[in-house]
Amino acid sequence: MQLTTLTPAGTYLVEKGQTASIPFKNYVIQQIERKDAKLTQSPNPMSEVEMEAAIQHAAHLAQGTGGYMKEKLQDPETQILAVGNLFNRSIKPLVQSEELDSARLAAAVMHWVDKRDAELPGGPLAEVAVTNPLLVLGYMQGLKVTQVEIVNVNNTDGALTYPAYWS
């Protein structure tokens, strides 16, 4: 999980969260479902109670975001873009839109209550089909972000356009 913004000085502030897709999935398996993540690869099926607990944990993780970043996210002039494979391959098909709002995401992911991997999209990535949206939703709720725009770029695009890498 990474949040990036431009500072008033024209430099990038990059905050790397401590938990992303696989560590979050493993947290759900170990701490919420009380299973051994070494023996259990998928948290699915997840109950509604487990899903709510996962959202709350992600919202708690979001509270570790720095003050400047939180302030910037609350500024109505800030355009919030969601980038990367998680958004383009998992979240966007789930909400069927490039405009992601927390209410739509919550409604969409709750359709997957009690679904097994075979009933979820993603093939070999079905094990994170539920936890990835829950992680995003928790962060959105924790940071009071109601809407983001999903853009079709990834981290490589950013690296290729970042001048510091080329000097």
pLDDT tens, residue by residue, 132-159: 999 999 999 999 999 999 998 866 766 6
What is the rounded distance in angstroms from the CA atom of residue 167 to the CA atom of residue 162?
A: 10
| 113-123 pLDDT per residue, tens | 999 999 999 89
Exposed, middle or buried: residue 75 (CB in 10 Å: 0-12, 13-18, 19+)? exposed
Backbone angles phi, psi at 91, to 5 degrees: -75, -50
Peptide bond preceding 45 in cis form (omega within 30 of 0): yes
Report the share of the chain in percent with pLDDT over 90.
76
Is the CATH number of domain 2-166 1.10.3470? no
Report the predicted TM-score, pTM, of the whole model to 2 decimal places. 0.90
